Amino acid sequence: MHQLTLAEIARGLADKQFSAEELTRNLLARIAQLDPQLNSFITVTADQAIAQAQTADARRAAGESSALLGAPIAHKDLFCTQDVLTTCGSKILSGFKAPYNATVVEKLAAAGTVTLGKLNMDEFAMGSANESSHFGAVKNPWDLTRVPGGSSGGSAAAVAARLLPAATGTDTGGSIRQPAALTNLTGIKPTYGRVSRWGMIAYASSLDQGGPLARTAEDCALMLQAMAGFDAKDSTSVDQPVDDYLAALSQPLAGLRIGLPKEYFGTGLDARIGEKVMAVVDELKKLGATVKDISLPNMQHAIPAYYVIAPAEASSNLSRFDGVRFGYRCENPVNLEDLYKRSRGEGFGAEVKRRIMVGTYALSAGYYDAYYLKAQKIRRLIKNDFVAAFHDVDVILGPTTPNLAWKLGEKNNDPVAAYLEDIYTITANLAGIPGLSMPAGFVDGLPVGVQLLGNYFQEGRLLNVAHQYQQVTDWHTQAPAGF
């Protein structure tokens, strides 16, 4: 049962081939057996999951037939989940149990999903390797000596290892798409505002967006259909009807216009990954697509702009973690200032401290105009590049990552090298457009991902292209040895 996709599980439950409880118990046993190798879960909610599965079986017996009814998933551990530990991978929230459900959690629960637990992540979603978690690094199931990508690395590793069919993630600068690429999954970051951020503990509020990771575009469509939609509780949520993502999957690709940015294929890209990208282009041409060379001239400024804007917002968002209202508090503070300093100093990890300090500096008097305001102007230029490109093409295609999954610890002493791994993904967050990564083959036994970028609210188009590609290839069906 663990090899079934989400869509196959939906059909199996509908046909009474197995029950939700049987499936849940099977996966919980796999998690207990295999996750110690991966460290993908922070919390396993076994009793709750079995109770939810039994409820789902009762609902199906009463005549309900929702596709996700009884489907097992898990949440990245920054989605607030009522009465369940919600840590953001940080010591500072190591004992925090959320008093309410995030909107994403609520929507998926209403669809009937069974929650197996909460998944490991880079601390406060800051990282590209899932090595900054207070609860330890997550391992890549394709090679346990390598990183799975971050910050949604726990979600990616668990799905890739067949511990569950799908999981939620969040993407601030590539944190769904990059781990999807490094673990042979499909993952989609929706348009900013398409999925509610209410109850999703913030890293950078103007960049964060929730989305699904799964093995296929069809599974991502099933998940996103339930996750997306307007939420009055989120002031950044967009009040626009949600497309029928499943109906979009079957559309032919004849006439699809693909843009290939020249900036994606220069120095810094592993040539072997470039070859895999062009092989995907050839397959899409066979399906009726046409290809055009384009330019995104301001992409070269994306990394410095992002690493001013995101830390600045993190500095503001993380100021609430002060040792007073919730979370970790230092021992025996001598006064209020000592309480603040030691609670934050002891509670936050090195990468989070680094970004808080960078962000605070960028927002400080005398530097705001020089750094933060200039970064926002560059952000607008990057958005304008995409707006211009989408006059001529329907989707933009390129590599998801410049390199294969690297060894655990390899980039720990060089944060900038890790930041550069996001070069192809962060522009989508700065512009607010949707992006998807899909499996495109292997190099030296390690997965390669190809990224698709679309115009605003064109998630259906990205899922359609990925699904049609997955009908003529089998990369997405391959599982890591031992899992």
Q: How far apart are CA 181 and CA 173, in angstroms?
A: 14
Nearest CA-CA partner of 401 in 198, 174, 225, 226 = 174
Residue 254, Cβ density class (10 Å: 0-12 exposed, 13-18 middle, ≥19 buried): exposed
- At 68, list the tokens: 């996700």
- At 447, list the tokens: 């997965």
Query: What is the SS3 assignment for 99-130?
Result: CCCCHHHHHHHHCCCEEEEEECCCHHHCCCCC
Residue 49, Cβ density class (10 Å: 0-12 exposed, 13-18 middle, ≥19 buried): buried
Phi-psi region of 150 (alpha: psi -120 to 50; beta: other; left: phi over 0): beta
Nearest CA-CA partner of 70 in 108, 28, 32 = 108
Q: How far apart are CA 236 and CA 196, in angstroms?
A: 8
Q: 350 and 412 in contact (C-beta within 8 Å)?
A: no
Helical H segments across 231-317, by residue range: 245-248, 271-286, 302-317
> Which residues are catalytically annotated?
76, 151, 175
Q: How far apart are CA 147 and CA 417, in angstroms?
A: 14
Nearest CA-CA partner of 156 in 412, 394, 480, 382 = 480
Q: What is the CA radius of gyration of the chain?
A: 21
| Phi, psi of 139, deg, nearest 5 | -100, 150
Q: How far apart are CA 212 and CA 210, in angstroms?
A: 7
Q: 97 and 173 in contact (C-beta within 8 Å)?
A: no
Q: 264 and 297 in contact (C-beta within 8 Å)?
A: no
Q: 400 and 179 in contact (C-beta within 8 Å)?
A: no
Evaluate the omega torsion of the peptide bond into residue 151 and state whether it is cis, within 30 degrees of 0.
yes
Q: How many CA atoms lie within 13 A of 329 on its CB side?
A: 12
Q: How far apart are CA 172 and CA 150, in angstroms?
A: 10
β-sheet bridge partners, residue 439: 449
